[in-house]
Amino acid sequence: MFGMSLGEIFVIVIIAILFVGPDKLPDTMVKIAKFFRSFKNTINEAKESFDRELQISELKEEALAYKKQLESSVTDVKTQSGLNKLDELYDEFNSINKSLSMEDDILADDLKEDVQKEEKPKKKKKKKAKKKDNDTEKKENEDIDV
């Protein structure tokens, strides 16, 4: 048993009876057994936790290896199928589209300015036309009074 002979166990029991006394020996043995059980459970929990951490780190390493393999496969497929050229063309198309939209905005602003410039003289002409109408009315009123 545990690498101890029957004689060694008997000596330990006699020493325990002498130190603790026969009255408290059963309670002491129960407390010692509970202590060893809780110690053993704690050691097992720590061992299981350590094993889980090792498994998690191994899974992470495997996942990283798969990720690298997948990325290299994707780049190989892109180079073989010419998708890189399509990506470049798409980027060029987007840049041209942005520049055209900026030019459209500039042209729209210029058009608005031109429209506003044309509307201002029309307003002045309307005022002049109103003045002429008022002048003719005054003359007609004067003619009527005379």
Mean pLDDT calculated for residue range 72-93: 78
Is 129 a member of any domain? Answer: no
The single residue listed with the structure tokens 């003045």 is: 131
Contact (Cβ atoms closer than 8 angstroms) between residue 34 and residue 26: no
- Distance CA(90)–CA(10), nearest Å, equals 88
Domain that holds residue 84: 6-120
Number of domains within the chain: 1
DSSP code string of 71-102: HHHHHHHHHHHTHHHHHHHHHHHHHHHHHHHH
Is 109 a member of any domain? Answer: yes
Is 116 a member of any domain? Answer: yes
Give long-range contacts, CB 8 A cutoff, 24+ apart: 46-54: none
Is 125 a member of any domain? Answer: no
Query: Per residue in 4-62, pLDDT tens?
Result: 788 888 888 888 888 888 888 889 889 988 998 999 999 999 999 999 999 999 999 99
pLDDT surpasses 70 at 86:
yes
Is 87 a member of any domain? Answer: yes
pLDDT surpasses 80 at 70:
yes
Q: What is the pTM of this model?
A: 0.38
Is 82 a member of any domain? Answer: yes
Structure confidence at residue 133 as a pLDDT band (50, 70, 90): low
Tell me the two tokens of residue 54.
């090792």
Is 74 a member of any domain? Answer: yes
Is 42 a member of any domain? Answer: yes
